[in-house]
Amino acid sequence: MNIPWLTILWLLPALGGVAALAVPNTRPDLAKWWALAVSLTTFGVALGLTVGFDADGARYQFVEDLRWIPAIGTRYALGLDGIGLVLVLLTTVLLPILILAGWHDADHSGSLDHAGGRRQKGPHTYLALMLSVEAMVLMSFVAIDILLFYIFFEAMLIPMYFLIGGFGVREGTDRARAAVKFLLYNLFGGLIMLAAVIGLYVVTARSGLGTDGAGTFDLRVIVDAVSAGELDAGTGLVRMLFLGFMFAFAVKAPLWPLHGWLPDAAVSATPASAVLMMAVVDKVGTFAMLRYCLQLFPDAARYFAPLIATLAVIGIVYGAILAIGQTDVMRLIAYTSISHFGFIILGIFALTSQGQTGSTLYMVNHGISTAALFLVAGFLVSRRGSRLIADYGGVQKVAPVLAGTFLVAGLATLSLPGLAPFISEFLVLIGTFTRYPVAAIAAASALVLSAIYILWTYQRMMGGPPRPASAEGPGAATRPMRDLHGRELAVVTPLLALLLVFGVYPKPLLDIIDPAVTHTMSTIDEQDPTPTIVVPTEGDR
C-alpha cells in the first residue's frame, strides 16, 4: 500500500492546530507541549521524506494524484522535487524552534469574560494559528495543481493576519494597521494572480490539454505543452499571464517597490510570528517564481528578466541603505530581509544554474540566519522593554552569551565566509555576473553596506560601558540585564549550529538542489552563458 506521505506532512500540523484548540482552557501548558510535539513529529516526517528522496530520480516524487473537481479539470495532485524538499525541511526545522521562542508570547492575550476575568484562550489560538500557517506553507511547497496551490497561497494570509493583528507586540491601532496593510497588499496581489490563473485555464482548454473540452490546472501537463510548443496563446497574452503570476509572488517575496507592508508587519508581530512570516511564508513567493513563472512562461521570463533583475538590485541596495539609518533594531532586521530577498530574486532571474542554485540555497540560509538574528534581538528587547538601539550599551559585559549569539547571527547576515549565507550569496553573484555583470557588481556593493549596519549596530548595542538603569529609554524596564537561559539557548543553539555546518559543508543541500535546478534549466531550454576571455594582442602588450 502506498502511504500518502505528503498528505500526512501537511495534515499533521493542520489537525494538530485543531486539537490544540480543544485542549481545556485551564491547561495552556498542555497546549504548548502538544503543539511542540506536533511540530517535532512533522519534522520527523520531513526527515523521512528526505531519506527516501532520490535526488537523481524522477522530478516529482511521492506523487499523489486524485480526482478533485473533474468539471474544471483540477486534481488533488501533490509531488515533491528537490527545491520543494529543502524548503519543507526549512519550514519543519523552524516551527519547533519558533514555538519554543514564543512559549510565553500569548500567555496574557486571552479575552475577558462577563465577570471580568481573563479567559486563557490566548496560547491555544496562537499555537493553532502557527500550526495552520505551517500546514498551508507545506501544502504550497508540494502542490503540483495550480488551483490547489493558489487556494493555499491565499489561505495562509488569514492565520498570518490574526498572528500580527491579534497577538502582536504593539498595542491599539499600530498592529491592527500593520495587519490590515499586510492583508491588503497580499490580497491585491492574489486577485491579480487569480485573473491570470483563470486566463491560463482558458488557454489550456483552447489548447485541448484537458478532457471533455475542459482545461487543466495540472502543472506537469501544462509545462510539457509549453515545452512542446502546444500552448495556444500569443506572445502578448503569455506575457500578461506571466505578469499576473509574477505580481502576486513579488508582493509575497517581497520585491521592491512592492515591499511596503513588510517592515510594519515585522515590527508589529511577535518575534516568533515575524520570523514565521519572513523566513517561511515569504519563501513561498520566491519558490513560486522558480516553479511557476519560469516553467509556465519561459519566453516571458526571459523577456522580463532584465527588468526584474534591475528591481532586485534596487531592492538589495535600498534595503541595506535603509537598514543603516534605522534606530529600531527590529525594523533594521526587517529591512535587511528586503535586501536579502533581492539577492534571491536576482539569482532566479539571472537564468543560470549557479544563480538558481544559489537562490534556492539562499532561501534556506536566509531563513536560518534571519531566525537567529530576529529571535536573539527579541530576547534582548524582552529584557529591557525597548526596541531603540540607543537604549542599549555594554550588553557583552553583563550578558556575554546573548551578545555573542547576536554577533554570530549578525555576521551570518552579512555573509561572512564560513557561515551558511556566504556560499549562497557567492553563487548568486557568480551566476548573475555571467549574464548581467553590471547588476552583479552593483549587488556586491551591498556586502559593504551590510557590514556597516551589522557591525555598527553591534558596536552601539553590545560594546562600551553597560547602560545604567537610570539611563535607559522611556518606559524601559529597570530590572538588570540577564544572560540567555535554558529555553532561549535551546532556541538559538540549533540555529547557530546550522549556520556553522552549512557554512563549511553545504554539500548535502546542494546535492538535493542541483538536479532540480538542472531540470528547471532544461525545461525552460536555457543554457549557462559561456564565459568570454579577452586575450590581448601583440599591440596591446
Q: Looking at 68-72, 235-239, 508-512, which range is the least confident one?
A: 68-72
Instruction: Give the Cα separation of 341 and 189 in Å (integer).
Output: 17
Looking at residue 27, what is its pLDDT?
82
Over residues 442-469, the mean pLDDT reads 83
Residue 290 DSSP class: I
Closest C-alpha among 353, 341, 351 to residue 311: 341
For 16-66, write each residue's pLDDT tens digit.
Answer: 999 988 888 778 888 889 999 999 999 999 999 999 999 888 889 999 999
Distances from the Cα of 31 to the Cα of 76, 163, 465, angstroms: 31, 17, 42
Q: Which three cell numbers stand for residue 184?
A: 491588503
Contact 103, 2 (CB under 8 A): no
Indicate if the pLDDT at residue 205 is higher than 90.
no
Residue 35's Cβ-count burial label (10 Å; 0-12, 13-18, 19+) is buried
Q: Is 229 left (phi over 0), alpha (psi -120 to 50) or beta?
A: left
**Is the bond leading into 254 cis (omega within 30 degrees of zero)?**
yes
Over residues 443-462, the mean pLDDT reads 87
Contact 143, 84 (CB under 8 A): no
The rounded Cα 495 to chain-centroid distance in angstroms is: 16
Over residues 490-503, the mean pLDDT reads 93
Looking at residue 475, what is its pLDDT?
42
Instruction: Give the Cα separation of 285 and 239 in Å (integer).
Output: 19
Residue 214's Cβ-count burial label (10 Å; 0-12, 13-18, 19+) is middle
Angle between helices 28-52 and 122-142 (to 10 degrees): 10
Indicate if the pLDDT at residue 166 is higher than 60.
yes
Looking at residue 325, what is its pLDDT?
85
Query: E-assigned strands of 60-159?
Result: 61-69, 74-80
Closest C-alpha among 287, 289, 307, 286 to residue 297: 289
**Cα torsion at 260, 389, 420, 494 (round to 10°)?**
-110
3-state helix/strand/coil string of 479-523: CCCCCCCHHHHHHHHHHHHHHHHHHHCCHHHHHHHHHHHHHHHHH
> Where residue 67 falls among pLDDT bands split at 50, 70, 90?
confident
Over residues 329-355, the mean pLDDT reads 91
Instruction: Give the Cα separation of 366 and 452 in Å (integer).
Output: 19
Residue 281: count other Cβ atoms within 10 Å of its Cβ: 24
What spatial distance separates the first Cα and last Cα of the chain, rounded to whole Å?
A: 72
Indicate if the pLDDT at residue 217 is higher than 50.
yes
Closest C-alpha among 95, 277, 74, 317 to residue 186: 277
Map residue 188 onto helix, strand or coil.
helix
Q: Which has more pLDDT, 280 or 472?
A: 280
